[in-house]
Amino acid sequence: KFSILPNPARNTATLYINSNANTMAEIVVRDMIGRIVKTEKAQLTTGGNAVSLSNLDKLLDGAYIVQVKMGETVVKQKLIISK
């Protein structure tokens, strides 16, 4: 499970991710029709992690789905961009 703050976001948002192990996370941001608009990787440690998503101001205003894949676990949250 993870959360995104602030949401709605303008330029940056922080993903607060709880991980059960030290693992590499793949973060994918998709628009509402499924196109990938941003990807990042982050090394997570066991417990709470804060991962920053920057340059969100390059995206159009609207709703996006942020997907975090950690090994076999995939979690998703909606992110609103509003400038």
Cα distance between residue 83 and residue 62, in whole Å: 10
Cα distance between residue 37 and residue 30, in whole Å: 5
Q: Please compute the mean of the pLDDT values over residues 75-82 and round it to a whole number.
A: 97
Q: Is the dihedral of CA 63, 54, 69, 5 positive or negative?
A: negative
pTM listed for this prediction: 0.94
Report which DSSP code applies to 7. S
Q: What pLDDT shows up at residue 45?
A: 96
Residue whose C-alpha is closest to residue 63's, from 30, 24, 23, 40 = 30
Q: What is the pLDDT of residues 12-65, one digit of tens each?
A: 999 999 999 999 999 999 999 999 999 999 999 999 999 999 999 999 999 999
Q: What pLDDT shows up at residue 1?
A: 77
Q: What pLDDT shows up at residue 83?
A: 87
Residue whose C-alpha is closest to residue 7's, from 67, 71, 64 = 64
